[in-house]
Structure 1
Amino acid sequence: MSKLGYLGTALRSNFSAKASHGIPASWLLRESPRRFSTEAEQPPQNSPIDPFLQNATDTGPVYGKIFGITKHTLKTDIINMLKGCNLTMDDVKVNYNWSFMPIGVMVQFPFRNAYDQAFRMIGRKGRLYKLERGDRSQWDLLMPYNGKTVLLQGLPRNALPEDVERFLTGCVYEASSIEMFMRGAFPDAIRMATVNFPSKNEAMNAFIKKNRGFCLNNQISVRVLQ
């Protein structure tokens, strides 16, 4: 055997002897710890973050839905309840169902802090109201009646637009805006109509003068839509 062969055999024998006497293999194989260290240094997967919390510093508008209102709730009631949230009449829309009963209110808060403040204020009022997060698409779908549209309920089935005009005699309204329709109810369907007025004052005057008045032989309920 050559000298190089004897040298290789001696080195392998020396390595085996040291490993058998408890000397850590990592002292002899310096590359192994580096491989394990590389795997341990991989960054952990990021946990999902609620987009609402992620955008907590956004300065754009934030939308909320308030539940617990009645058909007598006005926009001014919402604004007064959330005093300090910098709301205007244009920041509030009432959400009506198919029979024009209010099921909630959409509110456009100018910034996130205003929404948080409203959440705390409503939370202190117990179970009367509830505030949930909304979005821009829900806001855009709602019709802004703005207190200028009047709903007439209980019209006779044979009533014509001319009958509605006679009912509204003495009021200032837009005759071309009269829309008549039926809504299912128990025990019988109800004939309704909506009429637009040039201002909130004119719509309120129609409510004061005509509510519980008669169209043909039916007593009519008049309500201003918010």
Structure 2
Amino acid sequence: MSKLRLLGTALRSNITDRTVRANPGLPLLLRDSPRRFSTESEQPPQDSAVNQFLHTPDTGSVYGKLFGATRHTLKTDIVKMLDGCKLTMDDLKFDYNRIFTPMGVVVQFPSRSAFDQAMRMITRKGRLYRLERADRSQWDSLMPYNGKTVLLQGLPRNATPYDVERFMTGCAHDAGIELFLRARAESPDPIKMALVRFSSQIEAMNAFIKKNRGFCLNNQILLRVIQ
């Protein structure tokens, strides 16, 4: 009898093993070893699309670009308009195109809260200006003229640095006058311009007052202080 019991037990064990392997739908507990359970909670995935601006700390410089400035806009006008944002004239750089028309003003704000305050102030004061976020690279790429450079427009095509020197007689400008030609969309002929630099904003403004609409080789010259 003992041999018959052993034979029956072996047959049942063999049938059960083949059934489990042949039927993948059976519970995993019959086929796989128990899995280990972790007591640690799973960390939710971080959203890579989160706006980095929201994580910008409230300390440190934040950059913006102000649109709406004209050829007659001064740095003092912008500082006054954004009064309360703790800006100085050194925190502004004008972005000019090739014929020195302002394309915008890059502003260095001392903090994100100052930038937010400027946004609110511009919204309240109408749509003459528009402020957008800017990168540090936009600030670094611009040359600061700081109101110490005067642009001469309308020079004759044959004008030389010596002619400009004579025109600027009586104005204590720095050495080196930059002459160049610039094309205009409204005219097929390029215009001749010159940049004359001064040691201070006062000297540049004095030159503008003395020489604006004066004549160089019979051409009337328009002067503009570059910000």
Offset, 1:187: 3.8
Q: Could you say which residue in structure 1 is the equivalent of 2:129?
A: 129
Rounded Cα–Cα distance in structure 2 between residues aligned with 1:140 and 1:79: 20
Match of 2:212 in 1: 211
Using a 3 Å threshold, how does the CA distance of structure 1 residues 7 and 51 change in structure 2: closer, same or farther? same
**Inter-CA distance 43–128: structure 2 relative to 1 (3 Å threshold):** same
In structure 2, distance between residues paired with 1:4 and 1:42: 49
- The residue type paired with residue 189 of structure 2 is D
- SS in structure 2 at match of 1:202: helix
Quick one: distance in 2 between partners of 1:191 and 1:90?
Answer: 30
Q: The residue matched to 1:177 in structure 2 has which SS? A: coil
Letter in 2 for 1:160: T
Q: CA RMSD in A?
A: 2.9
Equivalent residue, structure 1, for 2:159: 159
After superposition, the Cα gap between the structure-2 partners of 1:74 and 1:6, relative to the gap in structure 1 and judged at 3 Å, is: same
1:65-80 to 2 correspondences below 5 Å? 65-80=65-80
Q: Give the corresponding residue for 1:103.
A: 103
> Which residue matches 2:63?
63
TM-score (norm 1): 0.82
1:181 equivalent in structure 2:
180
Contact 2:58 2:113 in 1 (8 A): no
TM-score (norm 2): 0.81
SS in 2 for 1:93: strand
The aligned counterpart of 1:141 is 141
Counterpart Cα distance in 2 of 1:136 and 1:83: 23
Distance of 2:109 and 2:74 partners within structure 1: 17
Paired positions, count: 212
1:2 Cα deviation from its structure 2 partner? 6.2
Aligned mates of 1:53, 1:32 — CA distance in 2: 49
Q: Secondary structure at the match of 1:144?
A: coil
Unpaired segments ≥5 residues, structure 2? 13-26
Deviation at 1:47, TM superposition (A): 1.7
Q: Distance in 2 between matches of 1:4 and 1:90?
A: 98
Where does structure 1 lack aligned partners over 5 or more consecutive residues?
11-24
Instruction: Report the CA distance between 1:225 and its aligned residue.
Output: 0.2
Q: Secondary structure at the match of 2:189?
A: coil
Change in Cα spacing, 1:143 to 1:6, as seen in structure 2 (3 Å) is same
Q: Higher helix share goes to which structure?
A: 1
Structure 1 residue 82 corresponds to structure 2 residue 82: yes
Corresponding residue number in structure 2 for 1:225? 226
- Contact 2:67–2:103 (Cα < 8 Å) also in 1: yes
Q: Match for residue 168 of structure 1? A: 168
User: Who is 2:113 aligned against?
Assistant: 113
